[in-house]
Amino acid sequence: MSAVRGTDAHPCVLSLVIPTYNEAENIALLLTRIDTALQGREWELLVVDDDSPDHTFDVVETAGLHSPNIRCLRRVGRRGLASACIEGFGATRSPYIAVMDADLQHDEALLPKMLDTLLTGKVELVVGSRYAKGGSIGDLSWGRRVVSYAGTWLARRLLGVGLTDPMSGFFMFRRELLQRSSLGNISGSGFKILLDLVVSTRPPPSFAELPYVFQPRHSGRSKFNAAIGLEFMRAVVKCRFER
Ligand SMILES: Nc1nc2c(ncn2[C@@H]2O[C@H](COP(=O)(O)OP(=O)(O)OP(=O)(O)O)[C@@H](O)[C@H]2O)c(=O)[nH]1
Ligand SMILES: [Mg+2]
């Protein structure tokens, strides 16, 4: 493990940004798992919660009383995964930023490897991929598979994106990428932030992919639906023609 320390300007090396809406039953376990996975690293975690009716923000704020590196940004009167992430990026200070879901579908054990890959300086973005060799979408439902395959195919084909899993919600990147990007352009309903980041960054970011097995949602209800999937595809096509 690289012994990379924070500095006065960047007290932590890694900031995790976790968007949440009604994830009270998942978030405490996720925080424990991340704490274990990132032992020995200097990290902070920001949950961006859209005033969840199940009071996810309360769980995070209570955890933050014991762990000052855990914070909650509670947005009132707002909704949106992508905008939550973008707002979260601006509220963190580390040189490396990770995004992951709160429902334990992403493999937190991959976080140290993602960080080490970035620390080599060879790439600017590391993506947890379900479609890279060794990865899997697990037992995703038939309908979700179709949306995922179609969205992935469209993004790769129409936008020339090289990522095997451009709809992944699990990735880590160098903060400098944000200076080269104009986020907010293509994600349509604002559900898939990775593709937005990659497409809006010029020149495109260098990237690596690490395979992982997508787990079933631990608890609570999905916010993804067919309408969001279709809106994503519409936004990809629109972006292609605008180019
Ligand atoms: N802040 C915020 N977070 C959201 C919003 N919608 C979804 N999220 C969070 O974004 C992450 C991804 O949403 P999910 O519902 O898990 O979407 P998904 O992983 O594509 O769908 P499943 O496989 O069914 O879980 C989760 O942590 C959600 O709580 C939102 O409007 N605002
Ligand atoms: Mg999920």
Our mutation pick for probing the ligand 1 site, out of 23, 73, 81, 189, counting the most ligand atoms within 8 A of Cβ, is: 81
| 5 C-beta neighbours (distance < 10 Å), count | 11
Q: Does residue 209's CB lie within 6 angstroms of at least one atom of ligand 1?
A: no
Report the pLDDT value the prediction gives residue 235, as an integer from 0 to 100. Answer: 86
Block means of pLDDT (10 residues each) for the chain, 243 residues, are: 54 94 98 97 97 98 96 96 93 97 97 98 98 94 90 93 95 95 65 88 95 94 85 86 81
Q: Side by side, which strands form the sheet with 43-49?
A: 70-74, 43-49, 14-20, 96-99, 171-174, 125-129, 207-211
Report the pLDDT value the prediction gives residue 239, as an integer from 0 to 100. Answer: 84
Amino acid at 59: V
Report the pLDDT value the prediction gives residue 2, as an integer from 0 to 100. Answer: 39
Q: Does residue 151's CB lie within 6 angstroms of at least one atom of ligand 1?
A: no
Which uninterrupted H or E stretch holds 234?
helix 226-242
Report the pLDDT value the prediction gives residue 187, as an integer from 0 to 100. Answer: 56
Report the pLDDT value the prediction gives residue 3, as an integer from 0 to 100. Answer: 39
- Joined together, the tokens standing for residue 111 give 């976080």
Please give the distance, rounded to the nearest whole angstrom, from the Cα atom of residue 139 to the centre of ligand 2: 13
Atom 12 (ligand 1) nearest CA? 101
DSSP string, 55-106: -HHHHHHHHHHH-TTEEEEE-SS---HHHHHHHHHHT---SEEEE--SSS-S
Q: Is the dihedral of CA 48, 53, 54, 55 positive or negative?
A: positive
Report the pLDDT value the prediction gives residue 12, as an integer from 0 to 100. Answer: 92
Rounded CA-CA distance 38/21 in Å is 24
Q: Does residue 102's CB lie within 6 angstroms of at least one atom of ligand 1?
A: yes
